[in-house]
Amino acid sequence: MKKDILFSAAAFLLFITACKNDPAQVSSVSKTGLQLMTEANPAWQYENLRLYPIVADAALQAEQKNLSGLKTLAEGMKMQGFRITEQKQFGRTDERTYNLLTVQNKSQDTVYILSGDVVTGGKQDRVIAQDQIVMPGTVRNMDVFCVEKGRWSSNDTLATPSKQKLYAFSGYYSVASPTVRQAVQRTGSQQEVWAAVARVTEANGASSSTSTYAALETANEQKAKRDAYLRFFDGKLDAEPQVVGMVAVCGDQILGVDIFGNSDLFRREYSSLLHGYVTEAATAQCEKQADESTVRRAFGKVAALADPNAKPTDTAGKFAMGTNWVHLFSK
């Protein structure tokens, strides 16, 4: 399954040319306009989880300002005219389709869907396989993986019979944990995704009869621990208006890197991304502190993809429109 998409959209063509010199305690990648903030700040660390903000210079922000108009999937799921359903069968067959969903956008907004986004409902919960753009007035199928192994029926008992027949997805959960995202982005294997979901839910004491990733919402001691992380980090990057991403580090382990082409888009994705990182950190045994050079290398490998000529690798992904990028991430 293809994991890295280069998506052409003339309405969103952007040009990235800015760069600036490294200030003290900031690591920069040449010609990208991106910098890693490495100074000590107690607001950026809770227990074993440390966030390293990534900022974009003014020129990059200005050139990519159109990205602020994109709606996130969490926002799209609340919009009238936007919905995700089990794959529509356009013939006479009614076969089970596990790895495709149908997305329909009758709204006037453009919706950006992130690889790792988890939607709940339908006949079983799913995780989105690839970053993509859903333009207004479009309907199409998209690749997904199951993150709920033991259900194939509607679980919305309050829905009307007609809505149950559509098996529309009723909710957005979060961005999946790094373990699940890596299974989606690196292997493209449903078995590996199920195994990753099992590892994460078991570590968090979130078992369920259907083995769903969303069982993480079950109230228990581990959820209370995760909620404490989320409360601490809520809004902690708002003081830096040019933040477009972060490196998440648990002790000496790099959990992941996510960089967006616009600060407004990052802020609206922040809480969903954080949920996934916290799910991993709250159960991880990572007590050592990562040295700064390790964090810089992790940042550099991903940020280098901001160069229009750079290609995705086995460990770093890129979602672009034309020759310009929207999301850079570690796999």
Q: What is the mean pLDDT of the chain?
A: 87
pLDDT, tens digit, 9 for 90 and up, residues 232-269: 999 999 888 899 999 999 999 999 999 999 999 999 99
Span 174-186, pLDDT tens digits: 999 999 999 999 9
**63 pLDDT exceeds 70?**
yes
**Cβ(72)–Cβ(112) below 8 Å:** yes
- pLDDT tops 50 at residue 5: no
- Residue bearing the bigger pLDDT, 323 or 326: 326
Give the contacts of 62 (CB within 8 A, at least 6 positions apart): none
Inter-helix orientation angle 221-233/263-281, to 10°: 150
Lowest mean pLDDT among 3-12, 21-30, 301-310: 3-12
Q: What is the DSSP string of 62-116?
A: HHTGGGGGPEEHHHHTTSTTEEEEEPP--SS-----SSEEEEEE-SSS-EEE-TT
pLDDT surpasses 60 at 2: no
Q: Which of 129-138, 148-157, 276-285 has the lowest mean pLDDT?
A: 148-157
The count of domains in the chain is 1
- Is residue 1 in a domain? no
pLDDT higher than 80, residue 330: yes
Virtual CA dihedral for 178, 180, 181, 187, nearest 10 degrees?
130
Specify whether the CB–CB gap between 238 and 267 falls below 8 A.
yes
Residue 75 lies in a domain: yes
pLDDT score at 52: 97
**Burial (CB count <10 Å: 0-12, 13-18, 19+), residue 39:** exposed
The pTM for the full model equals 0.88
Considering just the CA atoms, what is the radius of gyration of the chain in Å? 20
Question: Count of CB atoms within 10 A of residue 281's CB?
Answer: 26
| pLDDT one-digit tens code per residue, 32-59 | 899 999 999 999 999 999 999 999 999 9
Lowest mean pLDDT among 115-124, 190-199, 302-311, 317-326: 317-326
Examine residue 56 and state whether it is found in any structural domain, yes or no.
Answer: yes
Predicted local distance difference test score (pLDDT) of residue 88: 73
Q: What is the mean pLDDT of residues 299-322?
A: 92
Q: What is the pLDDT of residues 104-113, one digit of tens each?
A: 999 999 999 9
**Residue 265 belongs to domain spanning:** 6-330
